[in-house]
C-alpha cells in the first residue's frame, strides 16, 4: 500500500509539473470506466479483475526508494539549488513513471486479448480519445 501511495505521489508531482498526464488518484491502472464502456461479460470481468490484480502486484514491486530522497524539497528549504541532485532525483522519478506506464500498457494489452473484435476497436478509440498512451 505504501508503494502505491508513493507511486501516486510521483504521478501527482509529474502531473502538477506538466511533465505527464498521469492520474493523481491512488489507482494506477485504467479500470471501472473502461469496464463500463466496453460492456464486458461476467467472464471477461473476472479475467480483467485477475489481470488487474497481477498488474497491481507488479506495480507494487517497483522500487520507489528515490521518492524518499527529498533533494528538491530540501533545496526549497535551504534556498540553495543543486543541478546535479535535482536532475538525479527527477531522472529517478522519470524511471519510476516509465515503469508504471509500462505496467499500465501491458495491463491494457492483456485486457485487449480477452475482448471481442468490436470491443477491441472501442478500446482503441478510447485510448486515442483519452490519450492514455
pTM above 0.75, yes or no: no
Q: Which residue has the cell 541532485?
A: 85
Assigned C-alpha cell, 33: 470506466
| 23 has a pLDDT exceeding 60 | no
Cα dihedral sign for 42, 118, 54, 13?
negative
pLDDT of residue 79: 93
Q: What is the mean pLDDT of residues 107-123?
A: 94
Domain-by-domain residue ranges, the chain? 2-130
- Given a contact cutoff of 8 angstroms between Cβ atoms, the answer to whether 51 and 107 are in contact is yes
Three-class DSSP category at 27: coil
Q: What's the CATH number for 2-130?
A: 1.20.120
Amino acid at each position: 500500500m505504501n508503494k502505491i501511495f508513493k507511486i501516486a505521489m510521483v504521478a501527482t508531482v509529474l502531473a502538477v509539473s506538466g511533465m505527464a498526464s498521469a492520474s493523481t488518484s491512488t489507482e494506477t491502472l485504467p479500470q471501472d470506466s473502461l469496464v463500463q464502456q466496453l460492456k464486458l461479460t461476467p467472464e471477461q470481468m473476472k479475467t480483467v479483475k485477475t489481470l488487474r490484480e497481477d498488474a497491481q502486484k507488479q506495480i507494487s514491486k517497483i522500487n520507489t526508494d528515490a521518492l524518499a530522497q527529498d533533494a528538491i524539497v530540501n533545496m526549497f528549504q535551504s534556498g540553495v539549488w543543486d543541478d546535479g541532485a535535482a536532475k538525479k532525483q527527477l531522472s529517478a522519478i522519470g524511471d519510476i513513471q516509465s515503469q508504471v506506464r509500462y505496467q499500465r500498457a501491458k495491463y491494457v494489452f492483456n485486457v485487449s486479448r480477452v475482448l471481442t473484435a468490436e470491443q477491441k476497436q472501442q478500446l482503441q478509440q478510447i485510448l486515442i480519445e483519452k490519450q492514455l498512451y
